[in-house]
Chain A
Amino acid sequence: MTEKEKEFKGRVVMSGRLSGEAVVSRQGFNTLASFRKDTMAGKKIMKCSDQNNTDVFGKVLTGRILCLPKTIGSTTGGMILQTVASMGSAPAAMLFSGAIDSLAAAGIVLADVWNGNRIVAVDNLGEEFLACVEQGQKVDVFDDGRVIVHQS
């Protein structure tokens, strides 16, 4: 661990080991509003279309490590996440600072059980995690719920 790396520990919701680029929503992430436009357009690489979320509006979500407090909005959220995952366009991982919400949890479970699409998820990483991680930083996610943020 170097000075430029910071480690956090959360609870594993859906296990996996991967590294990727962070996209950070410091406010609640509205799943329907964020994926609606590019899902409707059938795009493979999806950008956030939620104009109310200035943190991530216009940023690529596909394959990224989405860092967020929780998801908000329509109760279609889980189903949208399942759909986006089945299109191969979901974030690679979702890292929650607080406890995961019921809509995101449903989407992650549905994608895994019915479509074999895994979205790695860790929750309860703490407020400091979300305050620390910045857009575009490299993030490592481990099977045991550890998350390392590379603050370069």
Chain B
Amino acid sequence: MRKEYSMHLTDEEKAILEGKEGETMRKALESVVLYGQIFGAQKLASVEGGIHLVTSFGIPLLKPVFALVDELIDAGLKTPQPFTVDPRPMDFKNVPVNFLEKFIFKKIMYGKQEQYEKQLRKVGLRDDKSFTCTCYMEEVGNVPGKGQILAWAESSAVVYANSVLGARSNRNSGVLELLCGITGRAPVFGLLTEEGRRADWLIEVKTKSLPEAQILGSAIGMKVVEEVPFISGLTDFLGNKLNQRACDYLKDMGAAAASNGAVGLYHVEGLTPEAVEKSRGLLKQGRRSYIIDAAELKKVYDNYPLMWKHPSAKPKICFIGCPHLSLRQIYEWLERFETELKAAEKKKLAVTTIMTAAPAVADAFVKDGKAYSGLTGIGARLTSICPLMYMNNPLCGRKAVITNSNKLRTYTTARYFTDAEITKIAVGGEIHD
């Protein structure tokens, strides 16, 4: 071995670090070991589920990433289990772009997209439909079981897998998760351990109705940052079964907590698997408290900065689905829009509305011809891109974009509105402050 390692390593791992499986494999495992040692990991665990990558975009300047993946390919390495990856950045068929925007997307921003996707296929990408941030949807099929060790990177997926499914993944960085997948090993620290999964915070939700998931998650994320919250008061509204409605709510709440803070795991009293099993025994001694009522949620919402170049601009585009929508949510949005359109005596949405879902989820919706023609009939579009990637284009980023996603609000200039507000604005075309 070239270096001294403080971690306990198996004979096989030592042999790899001595180069017995080649220089590239040695570097891959060395990266995983050094990374783990920084966090005091004493050993590596076998990665039990398919990994999920965050890096889905072929931005030419990511040269060291492309070079690293080429090195893996040249060494004949690939992940033992097929993997999924975050959404693609472009879909010119379903997402409107002008000539200049298309040129910038294809030739400048994501000029290496095709080449990068070819690379991904060679190192273990499952298939062409595997581009989504919600790989854990049944239709997509990268669904880890309770207690399974993972190495995922996409923050909204990590928090869902840990919290709702009870799997175990740290919030890994892009590339590091690929190296965990290639080596089949993840360092044991943080959210992979029992102690790391105990709660630092008791969050008491004291509202008269179900809070907006995206604002509740935002409030929690900003308060606890990367620590683990235990949330009480939600079963009054969500019930105590993890049905699709509850899972969708937790998906959106978790994504907001993960992006407005850095939450990798939360527990919901009486609902999420570990909270059901261990209840308040999950709370650490000395845990802190945070009470969230309607006034607190309003305060959080009112403090979101407006980043539009022209604050009074009329909204041009509405993005719904960051993270990607479930099949149930697509139907729910269609119903919301149809009801609002009927009340307003209108036939079509006034704002270009783009709904995003995993390719397999979108396919399932499109198969329902009546519902799909209803959606396109009101002028909405269904795609599988990443809205964040779309907004990364400087031309698109300047547009007056509205969204119900707190993640999209956090990382771009998009303006956040609640589901009810978005529905009215998309139908009427006006913002009434």
5 shortest A-B CB distances, which residue pairs? Answer: A78-B173, A106-B173, A79-B174, A106-B176, A86-B64
Query: Given A105-B39, A109-B31, A114-B27, are A78 and B174 also a contact pair (CB < 8 Å)?
Result: yes
Interface window among A17-25, A55-63, A69-77, A140-148: A69-77
For this complex, 13 residue pairs linking A to B, each with C-beta atoms less than 8 Å apart, are: A28-B225, A32-B411, A76-B173, A77-B173, A79-B62, A82-B64, A82-B65, A82-B175, A105-B39, A109-B34, A110-B175, A110-B176, A113-B34
B38 near A75: Cβ-Cβ < 8 Å? no
**Residues of chain A contacted by B411 (CB below 8 angstroms):** 32-33, 73-74
Q: Contacts A74-B155, A113-B31; is A83 near B63 (CB within 8 Å)?
A: yes
Bound Cα distance from A28 to B259, whole angstroms:
13
- Would you call A79 and B173 a contact (CB within 8 A)? yes
A31 to chain B, nearest CB (A): 9
Within A29-80, the residues touching B (CB, 8 Å) are 32-33, 36, 39-40, 42, 51-52, 72-79
- Give the interface size bracket for A toward B: 35 or more
A10 to B215 CA separation, bound complex (whole angstroms): 37
Q: Is B262 an interface residue, CB under 8 A from the partner?
A: yes
Instruction: Considering the complex, give the chain B residue whose CB is closest to the CB of A123.
Output: B38
B63 near A75: Cβ-Cβ < 8 Å = no
Contact with A along B158-194 (1 / 0, CB 8 A): 1000000000001111111000000000000010000
List the one stretch of A1-9, A96-104, A129-137 in contact with chain B: A96-104
Instruction: Point out the residues of chain A lying under 8 angstroms from B225, CB to CB.
Output: 28, 72
B→A interface (CB under 8 Å): 27, 30-31, 34-35, 38-39, 54-55, 59, 61-65, 67-68, 71, 109, 153-155, 158, 170-176, 190, 225-226, 262, 305, 307, 392, 411
A115 and B172 CA atoms in complex are apart in Å by 20
Q: Which residues of A contact B55 (CB under 8 A)?
A: 76, 79
Knowing A82-B175, A102-B173 are in contact, say whether A75-B153 is a contact too (CB < 8 A).
yes
Residues of chain B lying within 8 A (CB to CB) of residue A112? 34
Distance (Å) between the CB of A142 and the closest chain B CB? Answer: 19
Nearest B residue to A31 via CB reads B173
Task: Say which residue of B38, B62, B307 sits within 8 Å of A105 (CB atoms).
Answer: B38
Across the interface, B171 reaches (CB within 8 A) one of A36, A51, A102, A115, namely A102
Q: Are A114 and B31 in contact (CB under 8 A)?
A: yes
Q: Which residue of chain A lies nearest to B170 when distances are taken between CB atoms in the complex?
A: A102
Q: Least Cβ distance of B202 to chain A in Å? A: 23
Interchain nearest-CB distance for B153 vs A (Å): 5
Given A72-B262, A75-B171, A79-B174, A109-B35 contact (CB < 8 Å): yes
Is residue A107 contacting chain B, with contact meaning CB distance below 8 A?
Answer: yes
Contacts of B27 in A (CB 8 A): 113-114
Q: Are B35 and A75 closer than 8 Å at their CB atoms?
A: no
| Residue contact A40 to B175, C-beta cutoff 8 Å | no
Q: How many Å lie between the Cα of A13 and that of B36 in the bound state?
A: 12
Contact B54 A75 (CB under 8 A): yes
- A72-B262, A75-B153, A101-B226 known; A114 vs B172 contact (CB < 8 Å): no
- Cβ–Cβ contact B174 & A75, under 8 A: yes
Task: Assess the A103–B171 pair: CB atoms within 8 A.
Answer: yes
Question: Cβ of A83 and Cβ of B38 under 8 Å apart?
Answer: no
